[in-house]
Structure 1
Amino acid sequence: MIRKAKAAWRGTGRDGDGDLTTDSGVLSETPYSFKTRFENEKGTNPEELIAAAHAGCFTMALAFAMQQAGYTPTAINTEAAVSLDPDGGGFKISKSALTLTAEVPGLDEATFKDLAAGAEKNCPVSKVLNAEITLDAKLL
């Protein structure tokens, strides 16, 4: 399975702007810029999208783990807070902090913690934060 997204950018890093589009159409020329990334202007940014992906992936992985263990959650809610920190002359994503609340009838605290830890380790987005990255670059 391969999922795709496209980014377009016009202008300089600080004064330019761009848009993001996903093959599913959920994002369609969604604006992003220096201001949406660093000054909270309306639009999105890469870190917000990584946070959404991590929260969604982890939550679904936990739901599957609970199902395999014989539990049916009433609600699972996760927030991911992705930190973007200075790194030399640039920036790095230094952390993704997951905050989880769940309602699961019959589930004890120890089993809950084990299932949550396993879901965090095994969700594909948790794994991608240390993934191999390839680049095929062409100058037009």
Structure 2
Amino acid sequence: MPTRSGSARYEGFGKDGHGWTSTQSGVLNDTRYGFGSRFEDGPGTNPEELIAAAHASCFTMALSFALAGAGYNDGTLETDARVTVEKDGDGFTITASKLNLKAKVPGIDADEFARIAEEAKANCPVSKLLKADISLTHELEQ
């Protein structure tokens, strides 16, 4: 499986700093982010928005493949993800990712759909990541 990457650069610190984030694919290319786009209504993106988009798209694709595997070949899936960040002592914590799914799957009954959707939620790689151990390596330039 391929490894995917993203990067971030931040200049200045705290509220006065600002940064840029990019993705390997180029979909994001030096897209601005900072305090204003994260905690206010400033222009740019923020990590929680990117996590929400990643979770929504990962879950939706996982569900699509699960439905195809169960013999369903037609339909539409639309997922909205809402990631919540809350103040936690001196910092912040992402406390929830809420997936809201609207689906059209001809011929499926509600119980089977709910079972397949729950399995897709539990097994999509981003859902697993949000429960994962995170590792860090670092280098300080002098």
Aligned residues: 140
Structure 1: 5+ residue runs without aligned partners? none
Is the counterpart of residue 123 in structure 1 residue 124 in structure 2? yes
Secondary structure in 2 matching 1:14: helix
1:51 aligns to what?
A: 52
1:18 aligns to what?
A: 19
Distance 1:12 1:117 in 2: 41
Identity, % of aligned pairs?
Answer: 51
Deviation readout 1:76-107 (Å, 9 max, x if unpaired): 00000000001111000000000001001101
Secondary structure in 2 matching 1:111: helix
| TM-score, normalised via structure 1 length | 0.98
Letter in 2 for 1:96: S
1:139 aligns to what?
A: 140
| TM-score, normalised via structure 2 length | 0.97
Structure 2: 5+ residue runs without aligned partners? none
List aligned pairs for 1:74-85, cutoff 5 A: 74-85=75-86
Deviation readout 1:104-138 (Å, 9 max, x if unpaired): 11011001100100000000000001112111110
Letter in 1 for 2:25: S
Letter in 2 for 1:116: A
Q: Shift in Å at residue 40 of structure 1?
A: 1.7
Distance 2:74 2:95 in 1: 31
Distance 1:87 1:73, change over 3 A: farther
Q: Where do 4+ consecutive residues of structure 1 move more than 4 Å? A: none
Secondary structure in 1 matching 2:67: helix
Distance 1:34 1:139 in 2: 24
Contact 1:73–1:102 (CA under 8 A) maintained in structure 2 = no
Letter in 2 for 1:85: E
List aligned pairs for 1:19-98, cutoff 5 A: 19-98=20-99
Distance 1:63 1:57 in 2: 10
Distance 1:73 1:97 in 2: 25
1:8 aligns to what?
A: 9
Distance 1:13 1:24 in 2: 29
